[in-house]
Chain A
Amino acid sequence: MCNPKEEFMKNKMNRRSFLKRSAVAAAAATLPLSLVEFSWGSGDSRNFTFAYISDSHLTHVKGAQFVRNFDKGLKKAVTECNFMSPKPDFVVYGGDLAQLGKREELDHGLEIMSRLRHPVKWVIGEHDYYLDLGKYWQEKMGSLHYSFDHKGVHFVVLNSILTYDAWIGKWKSPEERMSNMARLDNPNGSPFMVGQKQREWLKRDLAKVSKKSPIVVMSHSPLYKIFKPWNFWTDDAEKVQALLKPFQKVTVLHGHVHQILYNQIGNITFEAMMSTSWPWPYPVSYIKKANQVPRLTVMMNRADPFHERDATGWSVLNLDDGRVTNHYKLWENKDRVLKYDKRLGYPIDVEYQAPAKRIPPQEHY
């Protein structure tokens, strides 16, 4: 991802600093895997592990029939999560469990998720919300925004996929509203936002928290601006970021974009979670003319369409001293690991960040 700090440093970069950065990446990459596994869930109160599953888009066809491909993704993630040893402290579901917000889809998702042997924290996505405006979700999963403390870390869950009341009210039916929010490149779409009411709640919630306490915010959409036509975007992102600014260690984890993205804006680290259903490309791969889309540094491998699960997956997250190390479990592909680099002040891909280590992307389509 584009990284303001990285951009800044690039201009000033000399050979020596380049060598230093490469060495850090190389050292991290050679850590034996067993060591990584060992650190999962260690006894330290500030060092624990949780898992993240997101964007399953379970799609009801008719009767008891659902789209098989998407069912398989969620079931696989749940099974693999259950094998985690030591166990994760909890599993976050990052939103878009359903495709069109139907009760059948949410019930079906709950049924599959009930096989998890770990507690679940729920984050709502727009595909869960815009049919009944979150009513059934609230009944079954609980609040749409809330906070909790875990082993010295303050977790905040936001409902970041709200939008203008006028847009919500303009449709002939809930189904029409839902299907319009489900489209990309929709001229009749509307941008996501956290909204004033929830921002006020967030302000009150954060007032109780020490500025030194690590904060992890979990939202469905990225709490920064990538690409508006696809709603890779939260309209009041700057206002939310301002509320998080006083804290020393802030990480925002989000779903929605179905790919590996990471960014650092000021004190806030942003990391996207994988989808279990399908991959999206990075928007700039389509918009070839000059654009404002943040620069992507490490592209994902191109998915092999033969394998339905390629370019999908889930994440294991280690919290160590309030910073996240994100192990992307990438099916049919090599796993990737993002680690916050304390010296650089932003997250890097431990294996592929150095330009020479990257796998060249395909540039013709």
Chain B
Amino acid sequence: MSVCVAASSALAVQERPLGLPPVPIPADNPQSPEKVALGKKLFMDKRFSADGTIGCSTCHMEEKAFTDGLPVAKGIKGLKGTRNSPTVVNAAYYKEQFWDGRAASLEEQARGPFVNPVEHGLKDFAPIVETIKKDREYPGMFKKAFGIKAEQVSMDHVVKAIASFERSLVSGNSPFDRYMYGGQKDAMSEAAIRGLQIYRTKARCQDCHRIEQTSATFTDNKYHNLGVGFSLIEPEIFDIVKKVKKAKKAGIALDDDILSSQKISELGRFAVTLDLEDIGRFKTPTLRNVAVTGPYMHDGSIETLEEVIELYDQGGEDNPMLDSGIRPLRLTDQEKADLLAFLKALTSPEYQEKK
């Protein structure tokens, strides 16, 4: 997909808070306030689920910085997913979506949960389009956003609108941004400033959670094996790998079935690429707003940032496919405390009070 960068409109200026690069906007889905408003309404709508209880916003709540605060997502009938709901804030900067990157765009990503058996639980997309056509407000909003009549509304329009709304959820201006890019040397505490130094050197965070010269997305858009959850699959890994290969060969879509299995889910990126080196690899998530978007890791298995720092300090969870940049760090207590102070300085003002 070709991507252009929002440039001239007032929206574009608004969309680029301090510390963030320009938001990548696909050429076939330009931003407009009408589309963002429509996307927001669709995002909040719980009717697009098998039992009318689940909307996008169920797991991505604005008051929780667009997460759900749970270890793993909870869908219809209280069914549990296998992975932690990531924040939507700044998801626009990821090159690929989902923890395993199986969706190439926000548009593609938005389709998945509707038909996932443990999320929205729909059999297909037809009920969504039907509901929209019969709604009092939607037809007018689609007309404004896309210039189409109600009968012309398709899933493509639905996911484009949702993606546009998500692209409006970009957030910088954290104490770190004001310190780093705003020239405000007192925006971060002394501890956080020391933490930044540790982050860039001994703690080896910077190589994956990138900070660049003029902006920071805190991700390398790559996939890494930290060993979290790996012990669950290690004893039967050969059988699990065989099962995935067979399922993929049979043409079963990952969203439908495969990833609802906890063990297959732990294969991470491998289930997408079938490349052995991708076993147990998951996407590097952004660290923006990390202090208010726990619990942590792809499976939400770690409650606090202190414990996350301990995990990295011990060199991840040992396994034969552990990422080759992960190794024991031997941080001192002071260094760990400073690192924590730095991570807490990555919270944007709009989410500061919403823990």
Contact = CB atoms under 8 A, between A and B. Distances in A.
B211 to A, nearest CB: 15
B324 A79 contact: no
A68 B327 contact: yes
B325 A79 contact: no
What interface size band does chain B fall in? 10 to 19
Contacts of A307: 324-325
A76 B320 contact: yes
Interface residues of A, number: 17
A306 B204 contact: yes
Contacts of A331: 277, 324
A83 B238 contact: yes
Contacts of B321: 76, 79
Contact of B320 (A79, A308, A310): A79
B207 A83 contact: no
A306 B327 CA distance: 10
A72 B238 contact: no
A69 B204 contact: no
B241 interface: yes
Contacts of A306: 204, 207, 325
B320 A332 contact: no
Given A82-B238, A83-B238, A83-B241, A310 B276 contact: no
Contacts of B325: 306-308
Contacts of A309: 324
Contacts of B241: 83
A75 B204 CA distance: 23
Nearest to A117: B238
A332 B324 contact: yes
Interface in B190-241: 204, 207, 238, 241
Contacts of B324: 72, 307-310, 331-332
Interface in B295-350: 315, 320-322, 324-325, 327-328
Contacts of B207: 306
A331 B320 CA distance: 13
A69 B324 CA distance: 9
Contacts of B277: 80, 331
A225 B178 CA distance: 60
A158 interface: no
B204 A72 contact: no
A83 B276 contact: yes
Contacts of B322: 72
Interface of B: 204, 207, 238, 241, 276-277, 315, 320-322, 324-325, 327-328
List the 8 closest A-B pairs by CB distance, nearest first.
A309-B324, A79-B320, A307-B324, A308-B324, A75-B320, A306-B207, A306-B325, A307-B325
